[in-house]
């Protein structure tokens, strides 16, 4: 009951969006549309899970899109040029993602440089590396990888979506049920208090960046599967969509507060909006405007709600 | 005050109450052309008085007049505009701006918002020269100046404005002897020009040299105003600590009550029953009563910690002492004497430049490099500023209380054992009478006293053996205070060692077995329970600051 209340706001926003689109377009509330939405979101979902964790420890990762593309390019090279099997190439994608995360984390935590700056650098580096590897050309991979992105006939959902869903569940468990997650929340809330409690924060903060990189690597795999090709310009700007999803879900950019499931709702809201507006034939320009308005509205609603909650809390017993 | 005509500033019946009364019916008079020392121990009310005079704080009651006119500044700006300037202890400069910009912040020469750089530099140079600071380039960034120069710069800035009353709070704290001499020269000049100067300092010999009169404050009241020429520094200490220390102590201590069944103390945390000779713990209903019961002899108890020559340049100097199991060691001293810094060195929050910490049982030479080492070695530290670095304010009581012990007590394979966590946190909170709606309440919404209980609870759960308390009862109500004193006692009963830093001397006198006095970074005295007095401790606390002693 407690958890229902926690997600009530997000569920109702999502419900309203679905209702509006269903009423305005006959094609929206159909299995085919819903399946197509589900199969489009694995990349963003995986990235948003990683981003949530990074935001919770009080950091930010702007390099997610580039790292995703780099992982995809590395995997593509192994498959196409070195003729590695898929099962061996996927771990390479995750490894390269994790490596980028490790670099991000070690530098920003070790040298106490804001992660905004370090990951901004990584954004450029990883994108440049991707272009070098692919010669700035789209590399076709073909049917080897396609099954990952295609719906399973008996379930109508793709393995990629299931993987993303798994990441959401695991991410939420990590954050709420493990010592690691508890420390992350504590570090994001007040790093000095954590230090004065006798806990070394650095290993945890760095691990979070590694984890985020790893998830970007995985997102690189699902992305490549969907296109059946490596696109050197893939996932440009996904960092902003991921941050938007987290923020819609109520994750604080100041650290210490966040929920992976809420971020997933954020992803769903963005995806439903995109698909719904496209079906209505709204132009790209207007789609952008509406998406922006929804992001601000969602956060505004959350701010008003928490302010209201505090007032309710204070009134009865405190004085 | 009879000499109204003769005074530039008169303060009548000034009172300031927060939760407690900080200033009580204070009368004070400043003559033009005099340097007037303001003396008092920690928390005597000096700073509050100055803040009221300079418009930073509004009084609860009382009136002031400036040159026979009603004076009630609503903020610092109005005070400054009528010529009351204050230079506070903490520097208020903006490090990334230039010297000139800092001097004229808020009153820069400009045309339509564009700063006239030439004019600004010229005026800055004049202001600096007047203060003998010609060597400073007005274009230099303030962060590149030494602390001493920064302090001088602040004073120069205050003096560049129209000035009838100048308040200086510890101006010489970080000045060298040469700089101090130059400052005094300038102050004497100013006084000759008819400015009234209020001068606060721990350095009593300075006060004796430069001030014509002193006013002594104690517990928010004026003790007396005296001429300095027939006052020694020893007499000043005597005045600050009370004409005779015994009187004060006696009024504070509680005659042990023997009536049975009145002890509602409930579950004492330790569940350790007090030994036969010990007295009952006073109940919360007695506001100032502090237990004196069950102070044990420290001799014969096993040594838990030996500190040898611990030094951190500029703040803690060659500190050595021993700490025994079951001992409550108080650390007294003026604010800034290195008490907090000493605790931080012991806890590994700062790094020592020299000296060792030896811990039982092996007494190996070691230094703490990180609080995590200290915690593993059995230390716990309740920090002075619980909001800054003691608590996770926006998290629940549960998260805060279990934080230190998460790995050790509340996890299996990295997963949180929520039931165990719930049970333990609930128990400890109950045992400390923490008032809350439940352990999932956000700490920010608790009262100060209950927040402090949570800050302590996390170390009780961790089960440390050496507890470092930095101002454990600051800003908390009487009942919470009583609860914490009770806790000290039960912790000592269990054989834990406690180091308690407090600015409230009476608190230390009532709760500790032994008191160590720090002065200017050094230990200036160690007192056992049977040999201490208010006065001796105060004397020791000031010792490091007056050239003759220490």
Question: What is the predicted ipTM?
Answer: 0.82
Search chain A and give the residue with CA nearest B411.
Answer: A179
Among candidates B374, B392, B416 on the partner chain, residue whose Cβ is nearest the Cβ of A179 = B416
Among candidates A182, A192, A195 on the partner chain, residue whose Cβ is nearest the Cβ of B406 = A182
Search chain A and give the residue with CA nearest B387.
Answer: A193
pLDDT computed for residue A151 by the predictor: 82
Search chain B and give the residue with CA nearest A310.
Answer: B445
Q: How many helices (H) and strands (E) does chain A have?
A: 14, 2
Average pLDDT over residues B265-271: 36
- For chain A, say whether B416 makes contact (Cβ under 8 Å): yes
- For chain A, say whether B381 makes contact (Cβ under 8 Å): yes
- For chain A, say whether B444 makes contact (Cβ under 8 Å): no
Q: Which residue, A134, A93, A58, A56, is CA-closest to A217?
A: A93
How far is the alpha carbon of B125 from chain A, nearest alpha carbon, in Å?
38
Among candidates A179, A186, A192 on the partner chain, residue whose Cβ is nearest the Cβ of B414 = A179
- For chain A, say whether B370 makes contact (Cβ under 8 Å): yes
User: Any idea where the domains of chain B sit in the sequence?
Assistant: 1-83+163-243, 93-161
For A297, the token pair is 């509205």
Contacts of B403 in chain A (CB under 8 A): 182, 186, 194, 197, 199
Are B522 and B318 contacting, i.e. CB atoms less than 8 angstroms apart? yes
CATH no. for residue A255?
1.10.3470
Number of domains in chain A: 1
The SS3 call for residue A87 is helix
Residue B264, phi then psi, degrees to nearest 5: -100, 20
Cα–Cα distance, B127 to B109 (Å, whole number): 14
How far is the alpha carbon of A60 from chain B, nearest alpha carbon, in Å?
20
- For chain A, say whether B376 makes contact (Cβ under 8 Å): yes
pLDDT computed for residue B154 by the predictor: 84
What distances in angstroms separate CA B112 from CA B98, B105, B109, one per listed residue? 21, 16, 10
- For chain B, say whether A199 makes contact (Cβ under 8 Å): yes
Contacts of B320 (CB under 8 A, 6+ apart): B306, B307, B308, B309, B310, B355, B523
Cα–Cα distance, A18 to B420 (Å, whole number): 43
Contacts of B372 in chain A (CB under 8 A): 198-200
Cα–Cα distance, B495 to B408 (Å, whole number): 22
For B490, the token pair is 């039960």
Asked if the Cβ–Cβ distance from B392 to A186 is below 8 Å, we say yes
In-domain check, residue A29:
yes
Ramachandran assignment for B281, one of left (phi > 0), alpha (psi -120 to 50 degrees), beta (any other) = beta
Q: Which residue, B62, B64, B44, B45, is CA-closest to B54?
A: B64
Q: Which domain holds residue A115?
A: 2-314
Residue with tokens 């070195």: A82
For A208, the token pair is 């979070």
What distances in angstroms separate CA A143 from CA A147, A248, B89, one per listed residue? 7, 36, 73
- For chain B, say whether A190 makes contact (Cβ under 8 Å): yes
pLDDT computed for residue B286 by the predictor: 37
Are A195 and B371 contacting, i.e. CB atoms less than 8 angstroms apart? yes
CATH of B1-83+163-243, one of 2.20.25.90, 3.40.50.40, 3.10.450.50, 3.40.50.300: 3.40.50.300
Q: Which residue has the higher pLDDT, A142 or A117?
A: A117
Question: Lowest-pLDDT range, B272-286, B403-417, B523-537?
Answer: B272-286
- For chain A, say whether B383 makes contact (Cβ under 8 Å): yes
Which of 453-482 (B) contact A at CB < 8 A? 458
pLDDT computed for residue B535 by the predictor: 82
Asked if the Cβ–Cβ distance from A194 to B403 is below 8 Å, we say yes
Tell me what percent of the residues of chain B surpass a pLDDT of 90: 19
Residue B255 clears pLDDT 70, i.e. is over it: no
Among candidates A178, A189, A317 on the partner chain, residue whose Cβ is nearest the Cβ of B392 = A189
Q: What is the pLDDT of residues B419-478, one digit of tens each?
A: 899 999 999 988 888 888 888 888 888 888 888 889 999 999 988 899 999 988 887 777
In-domain check, residue A32:
yes
pLDDT computed for residue A319 by the predictor: 32
In-domain check, residue A319:
no
Contacts of B395 in chain A (CB under 8 A): 185-186, 189, 256
In-domain check, residue A83:
yes
For B403, the token pair is 């934080």
In-domain check, residue A204:
yes
What distances in angstroms separate CA B483 from CA B49, B284, B398, B428, one per listed residue? 31, 8, 20, 13
Of these ranges, A63-77, A245-259, B281-295, B497-511, the one predicted with the greatest mean pLDDT is A63-77
Residue A315 clears pLDDT 60, i.e. is over it: no
- For β-strands B9-17 and B21-30, DSSP reports them as antiparallel
- For chain A, say whether B371 makes contact (Cβ under 8 Å): yes
Cα–Cα distance, B498 to B492 (Å, whole number): 7
In-domain check, residue A180:
yes
Cα–Cα distance, B439 to B396 (Å, whole number): 7
Residue B4 clears pLDDT 60, i.e. is over it: no
Average pLDDT over residues A209-233: 93
């Amino acid at each position: 009951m407690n958890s229902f209340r926690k997600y009530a706001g997000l569920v109702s926003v999502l419900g309203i969006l679905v209702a509006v689109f269903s009423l305005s377009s006959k094609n929206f509330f159909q299995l085919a549309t819903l399946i197509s939405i589900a199969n489009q979101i694995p990349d963003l979902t995986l990235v948003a899970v990683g981003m949530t964790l990074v935001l919770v420890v009080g950091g930010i990762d702007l390099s997610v899109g580039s790292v995703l593309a780099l992982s995809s390019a590395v995997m593509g090279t192994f498959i196409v040029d070195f003729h590695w099997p898929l099962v061996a190439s996927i771990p390479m994608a995750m490894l390269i993602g994790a490596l980028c995360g490790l670099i991000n984390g070690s530098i920003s935590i070790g040298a106490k440089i804001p992660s905004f700056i370090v990951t901004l650098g990584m954004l450029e580096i990883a994108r440049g590396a991707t272009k070098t590897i692919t010669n700035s050309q789209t590399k076709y991979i073909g049917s080897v990888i396609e099954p990952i992105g295609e719906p399973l006939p008996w379930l109508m959902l793709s393995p990629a979506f299931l993987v993303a869903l798994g990441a959401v569940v695991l991410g939420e468990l990590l954050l709420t049920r493990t010592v690691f997650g508890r420390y992350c929340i504590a570090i994001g809330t007040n790093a000095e208090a954590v230090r004065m409690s006798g806990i070394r924060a650095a290993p945890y903060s760095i691990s979070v960046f590694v984890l985020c990189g790893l998830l970007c690597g995985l997102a690189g795999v699902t992305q490549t599967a969907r296109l059946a090709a490596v696109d050197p310009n893939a996932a440009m700007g996904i960092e902003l969509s991921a941050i938007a999803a987290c923020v819609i879900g109520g994750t604080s950019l100041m650290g210490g507060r966040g929920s992976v499931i809420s971020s997933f709702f954020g992803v769903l809201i963005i995806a439903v909006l995109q698909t719904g507006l496209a079906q209505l034939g709204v132009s790209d320009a207007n789609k952008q405007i509406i998406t922006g308005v929804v992001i601000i509205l969602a956060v505004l609603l959350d701010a008003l709600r928490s302010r209201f909650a505090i007032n309710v809390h204070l009134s009865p017993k405190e004085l | 005050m009879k000499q109204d005509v003769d005074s530039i500033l008169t303060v009548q019946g000034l009172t300031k109450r927060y939760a407690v009364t900080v200033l009580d019916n204070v009368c004070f008079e400043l003559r033009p052309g005099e340097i007037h020392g303001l003396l008092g121990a920690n928390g005597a009310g000096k700073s509050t008085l100055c803040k009221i005079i300079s418009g930073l704080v509004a009084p609860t009651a009382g009136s002031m007049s400036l040159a026979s006119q009603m004076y009630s500044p609503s903020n610092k700006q109005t005070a400054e505009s009528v010529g009351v300037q204050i230079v506070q202890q903490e520097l208020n400069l903006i490090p990334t701006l230039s010297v000139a910009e800092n001097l004229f912040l808020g009153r820069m020469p400009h045309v339509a918002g564009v700063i006239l750089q030439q004019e600004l530099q010229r005026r800055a140079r004049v202001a600096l020269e007047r203060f003998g600071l010609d060597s400073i380039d007005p274009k230099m960034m303030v962060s590149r100046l030494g602390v001493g120069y920064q302090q001088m710069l602040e004073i120069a800035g205050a003096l560049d404005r129209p000035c009838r009353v100048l308040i200086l709070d510890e101006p010489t704290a970080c000045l060298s002897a040469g700089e101090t001499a130059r400052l005094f020269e300038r102050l004497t000049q100013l006084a000759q020009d008819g400015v009234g100067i209020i001068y606060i300092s721990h350095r009593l010999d300075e006060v004796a040299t430069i001030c014509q009169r002193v006013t002594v404050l104690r517990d928010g009241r004026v003790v007396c105003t005296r001429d300095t020429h027939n006052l020694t520094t020893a007499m000043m200490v005597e005045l600050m600590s009370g004409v005779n220390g015994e009187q004060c102590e006696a009024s504070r201590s509680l005659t042990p009550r023997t009536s049975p069944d009145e002890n509602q103390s409930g579950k004492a945390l330790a569940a350790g029953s007090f030994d036969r000779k010990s007295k009952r713990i006073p109940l919360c209903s007695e506001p100032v009563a502090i237990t004196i019961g069950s102070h044990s002899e420290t001799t014969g108890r096993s040594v838990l910690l030996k500190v040898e020559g611990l030094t951190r340049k500029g703040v803690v100097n060659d500190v050595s002492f021993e700490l025994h199991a079951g001992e409550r060691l108080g650390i007294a001293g003026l604010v800034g004497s290195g008490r907090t810094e000493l605790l931080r060195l012991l806890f590994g929050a700062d790094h020592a430049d020299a000296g060792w910490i030896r811990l039982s049982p092996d007494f190996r030479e070691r230094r703490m490099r990180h609080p995590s080492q200290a915690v593993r070695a059995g230390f716990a530290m309740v920090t002075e500023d619980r909001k800054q670095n003691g608590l996770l304010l926006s998290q629940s009581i549960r998260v805060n209380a279990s934080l230190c012990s998460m790995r050790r007590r509340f996890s299996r394979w990295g997963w949180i054992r929520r039931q165990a966590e719930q049970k333990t946190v609930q128990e400890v909170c109950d045992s400390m009478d923490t008032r809350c709606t439940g352990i999932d309440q956000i700490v920010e919404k608790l009262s100060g006293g209950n927040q402090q209980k949570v800050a302590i609870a996390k170390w009780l759960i961790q089960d440390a053996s050496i507890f470092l308390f930095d101002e454990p009862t600051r800003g908390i109500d009487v009942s919470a205070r009583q609860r914490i004193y009770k806790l000290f006692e039960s912790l000592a009963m269990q054989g834990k060692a406690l180091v308690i830093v407090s600015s409230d001397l009476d608190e230390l006198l009532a709760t500790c077995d032994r008191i160590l006095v720090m002065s200017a970074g050094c230990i200036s005295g160690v007192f056992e329970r049977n040999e201490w007095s208010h006065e001796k401790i105060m004397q020791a606390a000031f010792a490091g600051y007056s050239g003759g002693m220490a």
